[in-house]
Amino acid sequence: MFTVALIGLDGAGKTTVSNKLEAELALPVKSIYMGVNLHSSDTMSPHMRLIFLLRRWMQGVDGSATSDLKTYRPPPATLIGRCAAAVRSGLRLTNWLAEEWYRQAVAAYYTRRGNVVVFDRHFFADFYEAEVERGDEQHRLSQRIHGFVLQHVYPKPDVTIWLDAPVEVLYARKPEGSIAQLRKKQVGYRAVAELLPEVVLVNAAFPPDQVTKEVATVIRTVYDQRALRAASRRRLRGRAKWGRLSRRGPR
């Protein structure tokens, strides 16, 4: 089995499509949210779930609560304050790296059990513009470490499906930020698509059911191709084994 990442701007329908795929494909499918919105994730490590519950108990329910990795805070004026901020930054980075690898481990578990794992978003795509694309001189140390891990160490999806549409359509569905900001992010996703293996572009301007059918067709095609290759490898191994037995002859 294999992993499939659905990437794209907000409003492209990533979550909607991932939730519909199991019924559409008639295959064992496991959907895993691979983004920073903690309220959107049903797969979290025990320590992150505890932190999330504590934060919700202390600060109340916030439907847009995300990891604070992307939160910028100006450096404190005092040396003690800067040291404390560095410790907090290191703890945040360690905590979130552990969370990212936990979700990857869950994905590996389900693929080994015969599931097609569908990633709703992907950390590399989400953090690319902020932590990978820019030069190191514009990054804090924690950003440089996180960007390096995502670019060079963290596993990439086997197949990436980029749900793309005109930014005006996406903004009408989810009017957050501005059209100019969406265009900038769209350029970032184009750069991400050039770095990931087996990227397929799907037009997300159509209704969700039609987009889901097209995504399912892509996944089914990859599934069938891999099944054919696996069957071919089994036949070759069987012929090689039979050839060895034939050369030995009867004892």
CATH topology of domain 3-248: Rossmann fold (3.40.50)
Residue 120 has pLDDT above 90, yes or no: yes
28 in helix, strand or coil? coil
How far is it, in rounded angstroms, from Cα 186 to Cα 93?
Answer: 26
Residue 215 has pLDDT above 80, yes or no: yes
Mean pLDDT value across the chain: 85
Chain segment 159-209, per-residue pLDDT in tens = 999 999 999 999 999 988 889 999 988 998 999 988 998 999 999 999 999
Grade residue 87 by pLDDT with cuts at 50, 70 and 90.
confident
Residue 153 has pLDDT above 80, yes or no: yes
How far is it, in rounded angstroms, from Cα 40 to Cα 103?
Answer: 14
Grade residue 91 by pLDDT with cuts at 50, 70 and 90.
confident
Residue 249 has pLDDT above 90, yes or no: no
How far is it, in rounded angstroms, from Cα 20 to Cα 34?
Answer: 17
Compute the C-alpha angle 96/59/45, nearest 5°: 30
How far is it, in rounded angstroms, from Cα 174 to Cα 178?
Answer: 10
Residue 248 has pLDDT above 80, yes or no: no
Mean pLDDT to the nearest integer, 140-169: 92
Grade residue 71 by pLDDT with cuts at 50, 70 and 90.
low
71 in helix, strand or coil? coil
Mean pLDDT to the nearest integer, 52-62: 72
- Percent of the chain past pLDDT 70, that is, above it, reads 84
pLDDT of residue 134: 62
Mean pLDDT to the nearest integer, 108-123: 95
pLDDT of residue 29: 93
Q: Are 192 and 124 in contact (CB under 8 A)?
A: yes
Grade residue 23 by pLDDT with cuts at 50, 70 and 90.
confident
Structure-model confidence comparison of residues 117 and 250, the more confident one: 117
How far is it, in rounded angstroms, from Cα 14 to Cα 163?
Answer: 7
Grade residue 14 by pLDDT with cuts at 50, 70 and 90.
very high
Residue 58 has pLDDT above 90, yes or no: no
